[in-house]
Structure 1
């Protein structure tokens, strides 16, 4: 892919998780099979219980690359803080954010590396997996990242996954840049950015309450700081395992804040890397 010349250094993969050790194991196992091995794994844990700790210890014991577990106490939804702690701990200059229920394809790191370019961040793409197929993955009956063409098409025809073309066609780094801010295709479960750019905007904003729009906020503030976004579709797809929807009590108020920041050109997190709790 065009763009591979941009970055050859260590990538830090920050995987966020909360009390879903079976999904986390499936995700990390897929990370162990990556074609590009020049990366580290940081598990940013938002207060999971002992089962997750035990799972991470088992994974770490057979990890073929560096793996660290950063745990914070469970005081409600504090995703931004978990990510900021991961950023602060990262050894790489380029960071990929991945949710602990999103299984990457085997070329996931390689594809993100190929899109890495100074002055840009990347918002990746996802394939939704239905409840029954997710159960097969979590029981070990199905290894998503190892599926062939016929199996992927069969899953698509049955409705087990919501799209397949994005898994079968890989497009080059052409026409991906967005010159204007847009909410479309912002997926916090799969995004990549330069560490220096995150430090410039004070990282993710820990002042957001509850679930919702903290991913749009980081994209917007980076845009306000002059960092453009690339669309990672048809390159960086992950399999998003089924789960019940999170409570959205604060979604409306969080979006109002993002819209206000769009109007006034805000770049800095109110509570972030420089002044958040650690």
Structure 2
């Protein structure tokens, strides 16, 4: 089984560099990396080229389209369609992946399952001061480091930092009472399962596109498995100027419709049009 990490990004070269640094520190590295680039400029390309030069044994694909507003789902579909990996892990270029992240997603993969993890959110001040060394040495994932930066605002955030052995953390995954949804910054599934529902709905902007996709996966028989306390990612803080209240309202309606109708296929996905099956 070949695993590829698909990283979405848009004009955040420093964040992307830190995300790639975190991938180097994985206990189990992915077989390849795809950068799903929603129209970034040349600084992002320079980060990717520098990473390729420094680490030539790690295949890195740069899947890019021109900047025409928030079109994350479109570029994710292009990256998904063009991948030759069996197992796809999705994250964002503002996330630092805990050392056991890839290994845990790989361990839990099944044809009838998608996996969804969680985020530990840094403050703006902590984000501004994160260094490459913090990530490369794994300090950014240590409880003392996170606590000193005011990250543990609640008990569940502390539990996401994996204070207990993996079997205990796994039990917490199973017991914690929360609806399992696809989290676009920390989720995985087999590529065949993703293609079977035609990928992401390309009409959806920011706010809910990942949930709608996860509902369609679940409707197709690919059920969610929570990795809330066993596959965390540390999230770098940033503004969201692309947030659109009207789009979010419309997309909530689409999420409700997907739940109520049992919809699996989107006509606005990887392959335009109705389900050919």
Counterpart position of 1:52 = 44
2:187 to 173, 191, 206: 191
Gaps of 5+ in 2: none
Q: Is the 8 A contact 2:182 2:213 kept in 1?
A: no
Counterpart position of 1:251 = 248
5 Å-filtered alignment, 1:1-278, equals: 9-63=1-55, 64-137=57-130, 139-140=131-132, 142-143=134-135, 146-147=138-139, 151-160=142-151, 162=153, 163-167=157-161, 168-172=163-167, 186-208=182-204, 210-245=205-240, 246-249=242-245, 250-275=247-272
Gaps of 5+ in 1: 1-8
Q: TM-score, normalised by structure 1?
A: 0.87
**How many pairs align?**
263
Q: After TM superposition, give the deviation of residue 51 of structure 1 in Å.
A: 0.8
Larger fraction in helix: 2
The answer to which of 154-163 and 102-111 deviates more is: 154-163
Change (3 A) 1:144 1:256: farther
Q: TM-score, normalised by structure 2?
A: 0.87
Q: Is the 8 A contact 1:124 1:187 kept in 2?
A: yes
Q: After TM superposition, give the deviation of residue 140 of structure 1 in Å.
A: 3.6
Change (3 A) 1:148 1:197: closer
Secondary structure in 2 matching 1:110: helix
Q: Is the 8 A contact 1:106 1:145 kept in 2?
A: no
Backbone CA RMSD of aligned residues: 2.4
